[in-house]
């Protein structure tokens, strides 16, 4: 749950873990574990030593929308609002750039791209989500401190404290926040904090069939994310904003903002 | 072709957030007029000095209402004072607003204590209410009046920077949003202050003339001519700053200008260029220039001044609209624009806005029934002389 940053297990959680024990044992050793993440059964999970980050490889994204649907199901995202979405880019011969997102709650792109196919010289997909910035402007402007950064580097919203003023929505340069029409508070991607605390991957990462989304600990020198970032070229969105995003885009085209 | 980030299809700040800076602007402007008399000794403004102070007070009482209507959780509004997050520009609101409200309430108390005492000497509920207001002390003589005046003058002086702070802070809320190129300018702070003064003077002229015409009272010509000159001067500064800001961005031809020019051309041409500048800025400028620079008869002067004031009230409202709504029409994708048109009956709709904006005038009327704000027949100056 957003805003929940207890590090000890409650009695209910412990019972649930016992009940799901065999399954969790499989998950702990399988590919669904966060790169470098410690599971709840670890003796001393020091969460403040983590610094969760995210990488996206647009070249691998096929625009299937599975990530968006998984996020919506996992986090009960209201229809018409998005914690994550996928943008489709068409660069035309004239240099014009055509961008769209898939319509409807299922986020499935149609074949009709709205531009003449013979004019398209380049096409690609770009997933977007909260950048969990190191210097997050949304945290800066929140008048009551309801938006904060967890000890392991995830920008979260305390939905029980947020007054729903919308200042953070205006301040986010990436358009990733919205006022939830059901809860009337600010809402955004939490990197599925309730999952990653238990050593799982965010729902979008788990659902991606091509591995276009990578999640891991930036403090882990041997982790998958750190390794990829040391081997590939990448950039962040709107670096001029000074927000120091922790969502890294591998080999991103300059057309993307 | 337009592309808007999917969460930006819904405009977050709507009519209530247009109304909020508009009302706080009226507060600041009306207070400045009051202080021109109380602090700077502009004697000709005495006929509106008490009225302007009372106007500032009632508008201030309703300044937070649009915000409360807008908040997703108004019941948590006090979190902003209980758990302020001081890196946020918005966190100071509760303190700035409260401090200013206290100053205005005390100033009204000291300026109007004599009138409350006069009313308290009667009978009935209103008299009882007035006795409570003056803390059941009905003593008044030259010494108490002089003391009241000294304190009121001090509070009026203290209130000027606080009025500027309150409204400048509203401008800063927008000007400090670096993600939005339509808002992000240090000039926003100054523009908001000067447009506030314009709207404050304009609403006083509008209301003063209407009330006097309805009651058949004689207008104070020296006061109106002075207000006309101040209105003209302050509107020149306000509009010049607004033009300076947009012209400097346009002249620099930065990357931002490409998208801002498109915003103005496609979405704000009518409300910004045609209405705000060509009709409601240029029009009042020429009208006020005529009555300030040329010799015109009192009747013509007053009609033109009143019309110009009404137009400037619309100009400032349009300015607020174009800032608040205009800034949100531009997507942070910098590739497209969304649309917004206010609903009529929704929670933050036009009817709610009309009710919220009308309520201060109703309260002002009630205020006037308790303590007269326009005492034309009373030769006794209700305030002591501002000099000394």
CA A193 to chain centroid, in Å, comes to 10
A9 assigned to some structural domain: no
Q: How far apart are CA B199 and CA B320, in angstroms?
A: 11
Does A37 score more than 70 pLDDT?
no
Which residue does chain A place closest to B69, by CA atoms?
Answer: A165
CB B232, CB B289: distance < 8 Å: yes
Which residue intervals of B184-266 are DSSP H helices? 187-215, 221-252, 255-266
Asked if B340 has any chain A CB less than 8 Å from its own CB, the reply is no
DSSP, collapsed to helix, strand or coil, labels residue A104 as coil
For residue B358, the enclosing domain spans 6-370
CB B202, CB B50: distance < 8 Å: no
HSE (side-chain half, CA atoms, 13 Å) at B223: 22
Model pLDDT for residues B332-377, shown as the tens digit of each residue: 999 999 999 999 999 999 999 999 999 999 999 999 999 888 865 4
Amino acid B344: pLDDT: 94
Instruction: Name the token pair of B41.
Output: 């000794």
Q: How far apart are CA B268 and CA B257, in angstroms?
A: 14
Q: Measured between CA atoms, how close is A92 to chain B, in angstroms?
A: 12
Q: How far apart are CA B38 and CA A149, in angstroms?
A: 49
A3 assigned to some structural domain: no
Best mutation target, B20, B21, B71, B73, to test chain A (most A CBs within 10 A): B73
Best mutation target, B1, B2, B6, to test chain A (most A CBs within 10 A): B6
What CATH number should be reported for the domain holding residue B352?
1.20.1630.10
Distance of CA A227 to CAs A127, A152, A163, A238, B34, Å? 21, 19, 40, 23, 67
What CATH number should be reported for the domain holding residue A197?
3.30.70.20
Tell me the pTM. Answer: 0.89
CB A177, CB A169: distance < 8 Å: yes
| B-contacting residues in A 159-178 (Cβ below 8 Å) | 161-167, 169-178
For residue A222, the enclosing domain spans 31-250
Q: Which of B9, B74, B179 sits opposite A172 (nearest CB)?
A: B179
Amino acid A41: pLDDT: 41
A18 assigned to some structural domain: no
B64 assigned to some structural domain: yes
Mean pLDDT for A207-235 is 96
pLDDT confidence of A103, banded at 50, 70, 90? confident
Model pLDDT for residues A106-142, shown as the tens digit of each residue: 889 988 888 888 999 999 999 999 999 999 999 999 9
Q: How many of the other CB atoms lie within 10 Å of CB of B8?
A: 20
Which residue does chain A place closest to B328, by CA atoms?
Answer: A170
pLDDT < 70: residue spans in chain B = 1, 375-388
Asked if B8 has any chain A CB less than 8 Å from its own CB, the reply is yes
Amino acid B383: pLDDT: 47
Angle at A137 (CA atoms; ends A132, A138), nearest 5 degrees: 75
Which residue does chain A place closest to B12, by CA atoms?
Answer: A166
Does A219 score more than 80 pLDDT?
yes
Q: Model ipTM?
A: 0.91
A80 assigned to some structural domain: yes
Question: From start to end of chain B, where are the E strands?
Answer: none
pLDDT confidence of A5, banded at 50, 70, 90? very low
C-beta atoms of A173 and B333 within 8 A: no
pLDDT confidence of A33, banded at 50, 70, 90? very low
**Angle of helix B46-63 versus helix B187-215 axis, rounded to 10:** 120
Does A7 score more than 70 pLDDT?
no
Asked if A116 has any chain B CB less than 8 Å from its own CB, the reply is no
B375 assigned to some structural domain: no
Which residues on chain B are in Cβ contact (under 8 Å) with A184?
Answer: 72-73
B89 assigned to some structural domain: yes
Q: How far apart are CA B30 and CA B239, in angstroms?
A: 19
Higher-pLDDT residue of A63 and A47 is: A63
CB A71, CB A217: distance < 8 Å: no
Q: Which of B7, B12, B72 sits opposite A82 (nearest CB)?
A: B7
Which residues are CB-contacts of A155 (< 8 A; sequence separation ≥ 6)? A130, A132, A133, A136, A138, A139, A147, A148, A149, A188
The total domain count for chain A is 1
**pLDDT mean across residues, chain B:** 93
Q: Give the sign of the dihedral formed by CA A64, CA A68, CA A73, CA A79.
A: negative
C-beta atoms of A173 and B328 within 8 A: no
Q: Which of A101, A170, A242 sits opposite B13 (nearest CB)?
A: A170
Q: How far apart are CA B284 and CA B292, in angstroms?
A: 12
Q: Which helix (H) or strand (E) holds A101?
A: strand A97-101
Q: Which of B5, B77, B83 sits opposite A145 (nearest CB)?
A: B83
DSSP B330: B
The total domain count for chain B is 1
Amino acid B1: pLDDT: 55
A244 assigned to some structural domain: yes
pLDDT confidence of A45, banded at 50, 70, 90? low
Q: Is B290 exposed, middle or buried (0-12, 13-18, 19+ CB in 10 A)?
A: middle
Instruction: Name the token pair of B334.
Output: 């910098």
pLDDT confidence of A19, banded at 50, 70, 90? very low
C-beta atoms of B90 and A165 within 8 A: yes
Which residue does chain B place closest to A188, by CA atoms?
Answer: B7
């Amino acid at each position: 749950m957003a805003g929940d940053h207890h590090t000890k297990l409650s009695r209910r959680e412990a019972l649930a873990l016992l009940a799901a024990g065999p399954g969790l044992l499989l998950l702990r050793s399988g590919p669904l574990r966060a790169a470098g993440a410690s599971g709840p059964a670890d003796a001393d999970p020091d969460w403040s030593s983590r610094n969760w980050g995210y990488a996206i490889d647009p070249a691998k994204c096929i625009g299937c929308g599975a990530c968006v649907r998984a996020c919506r199901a996992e986090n009960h995202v209201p229809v018409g609002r998005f914690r994550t979405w996928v943008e489709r880019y068409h660069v035309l011969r004239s240099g014009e750039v055509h961008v769209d997102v898939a319509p409807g709650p299922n986020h499935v792109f149609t074949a009709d791209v709205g531009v003449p196919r013979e004019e398209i010289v380049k096409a690609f997909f770009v997933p977007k989500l909260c950048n969990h910035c190191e210097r997050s402007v949304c945290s800066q402007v929140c008048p009551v401190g309801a938006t904060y950064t967890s000890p392991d580097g995830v920008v979260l919203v305390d939905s029980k404290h947020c007054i729903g003023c919308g200042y953070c929505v205006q301040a986010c340069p990436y358009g990733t926040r919205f006022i939830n029409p059901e809860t009337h508070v600010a809402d955004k991607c939490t990197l599925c904090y309730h999952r990653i605390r238990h050593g799982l991957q965010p729902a979008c990462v788990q659902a991606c069939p091509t591995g276009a989304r990578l999640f891991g600990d930036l403090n882990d020198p041997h982790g998958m994310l750190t390794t990829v970032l040391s081997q590939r070229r990448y950039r962040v969105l709107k670096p001029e904003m000074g927000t120091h995003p922790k969502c890294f885009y591998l080999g991103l085209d300059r057309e993307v903002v | 072709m337009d592309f808007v980030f999917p969460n930006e299809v819904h405009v977050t700040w709507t009519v209530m957030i247009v109304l909020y800076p508009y009302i706080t602007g009226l507060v600041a402007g009306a207070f400045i007029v009051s202080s021109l008399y109380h602090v700077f000794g502009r004697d000709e403004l005495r006929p509106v000095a008490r009225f302007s102070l009372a106007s500032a007070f009632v508008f201030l009482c309703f300044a937070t209402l649009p915000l409360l209507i807008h908040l997703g959780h108004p019941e948590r509004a006090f979190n902003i004072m209980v758990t302020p997050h001081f890196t946020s520009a918005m966190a100071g609101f509760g303190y700035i607003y409260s401090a200013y409200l206290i100053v205005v309430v005390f100033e009204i108390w000291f300026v109007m204590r004599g009138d409350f005492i006069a009313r308290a000497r009667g009978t009935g509920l209103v008299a009882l209410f007035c006795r409570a207001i003056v803390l059941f002390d009905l003593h008044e003589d030259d010494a108490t009046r002089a003391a009241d005046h000294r304190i009121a003058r001090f509070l009026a002086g203290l209130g000027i920077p606080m009025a500027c702070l309150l409204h400048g802070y509203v401008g800063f809320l927008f000007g400090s949003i670096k993600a939005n190129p339509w808002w992000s300018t240090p000039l926003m702070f100054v523009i908001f202050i000067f447009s506030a003064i314009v709207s404050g003077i304009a609403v006083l002229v509008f209301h003063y003339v209407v009330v006097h015409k309805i009651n058949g009272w004689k207008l104070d010509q020296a006061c109106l001519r002075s207000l006309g000159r101040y209105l003209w001067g302050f509107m020149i500064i306000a509009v010049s700053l607004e033009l300076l800001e947009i012209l400097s961005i346009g002249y620099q031809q930065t990357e931002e200008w490409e998208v801002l020019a498109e915003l103005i051309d496609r979405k704000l041409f009518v409300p910004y260029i045609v209405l705000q500048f060509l009709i409601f800025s240029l029009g009042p400028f020429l009208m006020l220039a005529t009555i300030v620079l040329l010799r015109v008869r009192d009747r013509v002067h007053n009609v033109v001044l009143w019309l110009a004031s009404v137009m400037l009230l619309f100009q400032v409202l349009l300015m607020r609209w174009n800032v608040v709504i205009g800034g949100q029409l531009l997507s942070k994708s910098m590739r497209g624009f969304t649309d917004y048109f206010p609903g009529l009956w929704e929670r933050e709709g036009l009817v709610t806005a009309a009710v919220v904006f009308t309520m201060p005038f109703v309260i002002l009327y009630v205020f006037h029934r308790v303590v007269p704000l326009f005492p034309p027949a009373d030769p006794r100056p209700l305030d002591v002389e501002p000099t000394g």
